[in-house]
Amino acid sequence: MKTKSNRRVNTILILCLVLAGCREPSTKPSELGEQMKREMTLATPTVGGPSREFSVEKKPADIATAAQTVLEEAGVRIVREGTSDAGRWLLGKSLADRSVLVQILPIYPGRSTVKVTVEGADALTRELLNRLSADLEHRVR
């Protein structure tokens, strides 16, 4: 008798769990998901590797245009770009599949610091970093 009642309870419990999991997925994104996407696009990506910084007396928009040109000439494909609280940034992938991050950090009106970071820790990374920073520094001066 006890076994029959346990089977009934277990059967009802299993049916309830199955029915609870059989609903259609929501196609509408949640509010929290949308907020997380917005915050991810505002956050500056991080790239681990050597970097080089230099200051220039130009507007951030002019520096960003020059940085795009220099990256494209060096064979770096721009993957993402955006702005954060700190300033503008460009993220790219080199031909050797290395991440390259160019950050334009305004100091005060008319003066900015440019930081170029290349992923890796070998001779290829240092060579790419030297070339990109030298070309960008030459272009914005």
Percentage of residues in the chain having pLDDT higher than 90: 52
Nearest CA among 125, 141, 117, 129 for reference residue 55: 141
* Alpha-carbon gap, residue 59 to 49, rounded angstroms: 27
Residue 35 lies in a domain: no
Residue range 99-119, pLDDT digits in tens: 999 999 999 888 999 999 999
Residue 6 lies in a domain: no
| pLDDT (0 to 100) of residue 31 | 82
Residue 109 lies in a domain: yes
Residue 81 lies in a domain: yes
Which residues make Cβ contacts (< 8 Å) with residue 140, sequence separation at least 6?
Answer: 56, 58, 62, 63, 66, 114
Residue range 73-89, pLDDT digits in tens: 999 999 998 888 788 99
Q: What range does the domain containing 120 cover?
A: 40-140
In 1-141, which ranges are E strands?
51-56, 77-83, 88-93, 99-108, 111-118
Residue 107 lies in a domain: yes
Q: CB–CB of 56/116 below 8 Å?
A: no
Please give the radius of gyration of the chain, using alpha carbons only, rounded to the nearest integer. Answer: 26
Helix (H, G, I), strand (E, B) or coil at 95: coil
Residue 45 lies in a domain: yes
Residue 8 lies in a domain: no
The number of domains in the chain is 1
Q: What is the pairing mode between strands 99-108 and 111-118?
A: antiparallel
Q: What is the pTM of this model?
A: 0.72
Residue 54 lies in a domain: yes
Q: Which CATH number characterizes residue 126's domain?
A: 3.30.310.80
